[in-house]
């Protein structure tokens, strides 16, 4: 993995700042205010839940609800591996979430505290293909 860890003192606003540089993206963690970039599951996962994504995550940061998965923003190391695995195209970097779906950033953070970790793929719902690409699925999210 082309991952570089740089420990930098007296950077920005905090004396103890670690920058994880992963290709072109950065995760910055300070002992004060966290500035965290992560990956996010968005609307098209709802009622599709293919779960291909969980098999590649090296840190088990996916959590499973009844008909949707979320990513724990505190665990995600921004490795990018899950994004191309999703057949529904439902995983985005938090700074690249489709317009109108910004609320899913907070939704991932919220629901990850309520749902259990899933670290092995399973069969999707039998009607997953029918729901793939349907707009306005947030109304069907089961908590
Ligand atoms: Fe897991 Fe990497 Fe995807 Fe984050 S970007 S959820 S660490 S596979
Ligand atoms: Fe959902 Fe895609 Fe994973 S549909 S369960 S984010 S593979």
Kindly report, residue by residue over 118-133, the tens digit of the pLDDT.
999 999 999 999 999 9
pLDDT band at 4 (very low <50, low <70, confident <90, very high): very low
Question: Which residues share a beta bridge with 14?
Answer: 11
Instruction: Please choose from 1, 57, 69 the residue to mutate so as to test ligand 1's pocket, defined by most ligand atoms within 8 A of CB.
Output: 57
Question: Hey, which CATH number is domain 39-132, 3.40.50.11810, 2.40.40.20, 3.40.50.300, 3.30.70.20?
Answer: 3.30.70.20
Query: Which is nearest to 81 in space by CA: 51, 57, 59, 97?
Result: 57
Q: Is this structure's pTM higher than 0.95? A: no
- Encoding tokens for residue 124? 């999707």
pLDDT value for 37: 80
How many A from CA of 22 to the centre of ligand 2? 23
Terminal C-alpha separation, the chain:
35
Is the shortest distance between the CB of 40 and ligand 1 below 6 Å?
no
How far, in Å, from the CA of 90 to the mean position of ligand 1?
13
Q: Which of 125, 131, 107, 95 is closest to 42 using CA atoms?
A: 107
**Degrees to nearest 5, angle at CA 13 with 32 and 109:** 40
Asked whether residue 40 carries a pLDDT value surpassing 90, the answer given is: yes
Atom of ligand 1 nearest to the CA of 53: 8
CB atoms within 10 A of CB 90: 25
Position 11 confidence tier, pLDDT thresholds 50, 70, 90: very low
| Domain residue limits, the chain | 1-35, 39-132
- The predicted pLDDT at position 35 comes to 52
């Amino acid at each position: 993995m082309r991952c570089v860890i740089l420990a930098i003192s007296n950077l920005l606003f905090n004396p103890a700042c670690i920058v994880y540089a992963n290709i072109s993206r950065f995760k910055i963690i300070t002992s004060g205010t966290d500035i965290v970039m992560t990956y996010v599951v968005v609307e098209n996962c709802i009622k599709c839940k293919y779960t291909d994504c969980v098999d590649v995550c090296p840190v088990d940061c996916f959590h499973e609800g009844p008909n949707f998965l979320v990513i724990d923003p505190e665990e995600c190391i921004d490795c990018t591996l899950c994004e191309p695995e999703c057949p529904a195209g439902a995983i985005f970097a938090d700074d690249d979430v489709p317009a109108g779906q910004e609320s899913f950033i907070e939704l991932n953070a919220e629901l990850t505290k309520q749902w259990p970790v899933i670290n092995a793929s399973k069969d999707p719902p039998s009607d997953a293909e029918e729901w793939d690409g349907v707009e306005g699925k947030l109304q069907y999210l089961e908590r």
